[in-house]
């Protein structure tokens, strides 16, 4: 018995203490910023078309195409046209016209300069900003912690519906904020959301909205928020 008890004691020394239960999602925010936290949404529209190829890659592809054309055998046009047939040729031309019109890299917003349109900067990520009180800012709202307070998602989600329209459908990217900016006893926490569908309808207090690229967003936002936008906004190469 004594030998068995010594063996048990020796093994117990290497047993890890039980892990504490994970704190609720709002616990850390509530504990540190009980009444001074602010929630901001970085609403992102992902690229619609592939990005432009770098110059070196375009030159490489053009060289390969010229080499392939030089080594290929050219058949008489009478043979190729007869082999393709009128129906197939018409279908090919129709498909090429659709690709040229629908696959354009320039949208209507680019041609008209409309920053409220999602049909602009198709190869770039765009971010939603609101104009309030003469200044551009991300959608954001004050949040008071506490047991009876709404969750972060509830609070920020309700604010987005009120300030940007109920038809706007968004996807939350993760459960944790992507960044925060402390300011003494206060702090602003930023959450990333991706645009899915719907139209932005600015609510009361908003003078307008815009979908901006990373560079445009950094120029419109003031101070630390502009610097933060350069760090957390794509592209993520």
User: What's the rounded Cα separation, in Å, for the pair 232 and 221?
Assistant: 14
Q: Which residue would you say has higher pLDDT here, 10 or 195?
A: 195
Query: What pLDDT does residue 184 have?
Result: 75
Q: Which residues pair with 131 in a beta bridge?
A: 136, 208
Instruction: Answer for the pair 167, 201: CB distance below 8 angstroms, yes or no.
Output: yes
Taken in order 195, 197, 203, 208, the sign of the CA dihedral is positive
pTM, 2 dp: 0.72
pLDDT at position 28 is 55
Highest mean pLDDT among 19-23, 81-85, 98-102: 98-102
Tens digits of residue pLDDT in 4-44: 455 544 444 444 444 444 444 555 555 555 556 889 999 99
The radius of gyration of the chain from alpha carbons, rounded to an integer in Å, stands at 28
The mean pLDDT of the chain is: 82
């Amino acid at each position: 018995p004594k030998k068995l008890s010594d063996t048990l004691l020796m093994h117990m020394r290497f047993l890890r203490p039980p892990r504490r239960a994970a704190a609720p999602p709002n616990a850390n925010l509530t504990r540190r910023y009980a009444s001074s936290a602010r929630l901001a949404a970085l609403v992102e529209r992902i690229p619609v078309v592939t990005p432009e190829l770098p110059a070196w890659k375009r030159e490489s592809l053009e060289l390969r195409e010229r080499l392939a054309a030089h080594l290929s055998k050219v058949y008489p046009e009478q043979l190729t046209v007869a082999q393709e047939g009128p129906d197939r040729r018409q279908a090919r031309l129709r498909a090429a016209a659709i690709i040229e019109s629908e696959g354009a890299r320039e949208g209507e917003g680019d041609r008209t300069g409309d920053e409220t349109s999602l049909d602009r900067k198709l190869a770039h990520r765009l971010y939603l900003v609101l104009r309030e009180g003469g200044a551009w800012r991300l959608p954001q709202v004050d949040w008071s912690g506490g047991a009876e307070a709404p969750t972060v998602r509830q609070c920020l989600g309700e604010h987005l519906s009120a300030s940007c329209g109920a038809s706007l459908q968004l996807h939350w990217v993760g459960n944790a904020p992507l960044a925060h900016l402390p300011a003494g006893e206060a702090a602003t926490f930023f959450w990333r959301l991706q645009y899915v569908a719907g139209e932005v309808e600015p609510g009361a207090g908003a003078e307008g909205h815009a979908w901006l690229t990373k560079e445009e967003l950094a120029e419109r936002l003031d101070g630390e928020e502009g610097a933060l936008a350069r760090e957390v906004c794509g592209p993520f190469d």
